A and B are shown apart, each in its own frame.
Chain A
Amino acid sequence: MSGVKFKTRIRLTFSYLMLVILSVAALYPAIWILFSSLRPGKSLYSKTFIPETFTMEHYRALFYDNTLLFPTWWLNTFKIALFSMILGVFLTLLTSYAVSRFRFKARKTTMSGLLVLGMFPGFMSMIAIYLLLKEFDLLDTHMALIMVYAAGAPLGGTLIAKGFLDTIPRSLDEAARIDGASNFGIFWRIILPLSRPMITYMALTQFVGPWVDFIFARLILRTKEKWTVAVGMWDMVNSNQNTNFTTFAAGAVLISIPIMILFFFLQKLLVEGLTAGASKG
């Protein structure tokens, strides 16, 4: 008996050690940029890891320096991310529910098609989308970005979501059908509640997308007032040849924090597979 206990202790000690090392690796860059944003001066490099003096001037500059427009960019990005998330998740759910639960003629073709299209290098179609939006007079609008992001969502998400929906037992649907539920009723009352972890996952990735993306954003948004944070930040580093690194760091911290809060707020949903319980009960 004590041999087993000893083994377990060794295993746990080793695991904790690994976890500590991994945690340091995960946190180090984040802390470094946080300290950089609080360090006086503009330079990238520092002698010490923890700054000798702390300053908030870079954060102040973000909000009061009229050449930066940081608050505007932030709101723009939030708006775009929110709407493209709602629309994108909705579209992805439609496709994944259709291919997971129904057997129709073009089903396998649809799935292979989604897979194939999803693999096309996204911005290879950049010029085409640019010209298309120009044709519909949508250049330099947030609407265009929302449409592009949301329309692309099913390509990336459908097969993952389908894999998840497949694990929701079919017996639940059938029981509901016997009770007289319609297709739409089943989708709304059974599939959606059980897919919460999946939906959360999709919503997060969809929401994060616009914050990260600057390729399309830079292409479509022409005026500085309409930029997203990504374009603005990119410009900040690029136009100044890195001389304003600390302000960039402050901006980076401000962008990362809301996304991180969202993550930690919702992460429980991500891992708690509700389906396991449902199939047992």
Chain B
Amino acid sequence: MQRHHTRAATILSTLFMGLGQIYNRQFIKGFIFLIVEALSLTYFIEKLGRAFWGIVTLGTTSQHFEKVKGIAKLVKGDHSIFILIQSLITIIFFVLFLIAWYMNIRDAYKNGAARDAGQTPGTFKQSIRYILDYKFAQTFLILPSVGILLFTVMPIIFMVMLAFTNYSAPNHMPPAKLVDWVGFETFHNLVALKSWSHTFYGVLTWTIIWAILSTVTTYFGGMLVAMLISQQGVRFKGIWRAILIVPYAIPQMISLLLMRNLFNGQFGPINQYLKFFGLGGLPWLTDPFWAKVTVIVVNMWVGIPVSMLLIMGVLTTIPRDMYEAAEVDGATNYQKFRIITLPMVLFSTAPTLIAQFAGNINNFNAIFLLTGGSPVNGDYQYAGSTDLLVTWLYKLTLDQNKYNMASAIGIIIFLIVATFSIYNYRRTKSFQEEDMIQ
């Protein structure tokens, strides 16, 4: 039993990426691996040690004054946050490198084994062909993955780490002061410390109510409008659609700032009209209850066109013959809606609906631009009555510099939304029976 080539190729590739491939006479692939390893090595020799040191200590020298020849001089200390992010980037690159290394060894092993079995390893062209035929999906996913890794995953890891530090104003702000790891202290403060927990539970409750109401109102509102327009006998469909898309076509930033003025309690046109009809104006944005009503209503105005467009798109894809068959059977309009339209629409839009729900939990614009979280709530820690967890997080980050608390809240938002959505998403038909439509 000769396992000579397998062992040699594997060992060579373990020693240095690409050697095994070159040994297997796959020169182009081998050289690509060689270059990758050479470049990586020069990078890691310089950075890796410091990265591990940085992530453990978060810097050791704080900024201080030193006496040089009797004159006090400011000595720059370690900037914990920069150290943290640099270390993180290096370690992520290192993990990627390890994956490449593993793939290189496995490849050398496979081709070595093939040679032992008496086959000749494929040429470079054949390798490319193989990838295009059988690893096509993975190849397609590489580019998006890099983007997501860099701009989503890495920042998330970073923020999760911040939640376990004491990075906050006024006592732990680099570069003047160092930041330390504190474990679960921040989370503990958030749920157990009276001053924080009161705000937290209050804001959390409102966030959930808001997310449910805003999703349901816009989705079914959109469905209603879509069906109104697309029902048989309604003329000028194009014009109605064009008119009702208008709110979506106006940038949200503008329409929300605009609505803020429309609903202005003193001079806003809405109240002017109410007064004209002899009704008293309402404190739209200044009363906690009415402010909540206002954001829901305005969100409907902004959100219904999106659902309408989406559902109209789905309506056109429902085969006409299904309705024709139903009509032959004597189904009423309502029955057609309930048995054909609604299930088909729900099937196609379930992921969107969930995305909308998650989006609404994090609907920063709707709240921040419209009310800015106001009216002020005296009981709350840096939050107003209409503040969602996200806008609270934003305020804690940008206005108060409580980065650790903001990160902890972010993680909690994430856990709630993710648990709910994954569970729900897995139950939807489009996930379980996705091959239903053939």
Contact = CB atoms under 8 A, between A and B. Distances in A.
State whether these chains interact: yes
Interface of A: 8, 11-12, 15-16, 18-19, 22-23, 25-27, 29-30, 32-33, 44-45, 49, 91-92, 94-95, 97-99, 101-102, 104, 107, 110-112, 114-129, 131-132, 135, 147-148, 150-152, 154-156, 159-160, 162-164, 166-167, 169-171, 182-184, 197, 201, 208, 211-215, 230, 233-234, 237, 245, 248, 252, 255-256, 259-260, 263-264, 267, 270-273, 275-276, 279-280
A48 to B, nearest CB: 10
A197 B313 CA distance: 8
Interface stretch (B51-59, B186-194, B256-264): B256-264
Nearest to B248: A263
A136 to B, nearest CB: 9
Contact of A211 (B151, B233, B251): B251
Given A111-B431, A124-B413, 7 more contacts: A26-B243, A107-B137, A119-B362, A132-B154, A135-B86, A151-B148, A167-B437
22 contacts: A11-B231, A19-B234, A29-B247, A102-B137, A117-B156, A119-B417, A120-B410, A121-B362, A122-B364, A127-B397, A128-B154, A129-B155, A132-B85, A151-B150, A163-B348, A182-B133, A183-B133, A260-B250, A263-B245, A267-B242, A270-B309, A276-B316
B267 A45 contact: yes
Interface stretch (B6-14, B139-147, B175-183): B139-147
Nearest to A144: B151
B130 interface: no
Interface of B: 81-82, 85-86, 89, 132-133, 136-138, 140-141, 143-144, 147-148, 150-156, 158-159, 162, 225, 228-229, 231, 233-234, 240-255, 257-259, 261-262, 264, 267, 269, 301, 305, 309-310, 312-314, 316-319, 348-352, 354-355, 358, 361-362, 364-365, 390, 393-394, 397, 403, 406-407, 410, 413-414, 417-418, 421-422, 425-426, 430-431, 434-435, 437-438
In the complex, the 10 A-B pairs of residues with the closest C-beta atoms, listed nearest first: A125-B155, A151-B147, A128-B155, A102-B137, A273-B317, A128-B158, A124-B410, A98-B137, A45-B267, A260-B249
Nearest to B301: A25
Nearest to B129: A182
B251 A150 contact: no
A22 B231 CA distance: 16
A22 B301 contact: no
Contacts of B421: 115-116, 119
Contacts, number: 280
A119 B358 contact: yes
Given A115-B425, A126-B397, A19 B154 contact: no
Contacts of A111: 431
Contacts of B305: 26
B234 A15 contact: yes
A275 B319 CA distance: 10
A201 B438 CA distance: 23
Given A115-B422, A128-B155, A234 B246 contact: no
Contact of B141 (A94, A117, A125, A159): A94
Nearest to A242: B261
Contacts of A275: 317
Contacts of A260: 246, 249-250
Contact of B319 (A22, A101, A159, A280): A280
B274 to A, nearest CB: 14
B51 to A, nearest CB: 13
Contact of B137 (A104, A132, A214): A104
Given A94-B143, A183-B132, A272 B364 contact: no
Given A151-B147, A184-B132, A237 B248 contact: no
Nearest to B347: A163
A273 B403 CA distance: 47
B69 to A, nearest CB: 35
A160 B349 CA distance: 8
Contact of A125 (B143, B152, B251): B152
A56 to B, nearest CB: 20
A183 B438 CA distance: 18
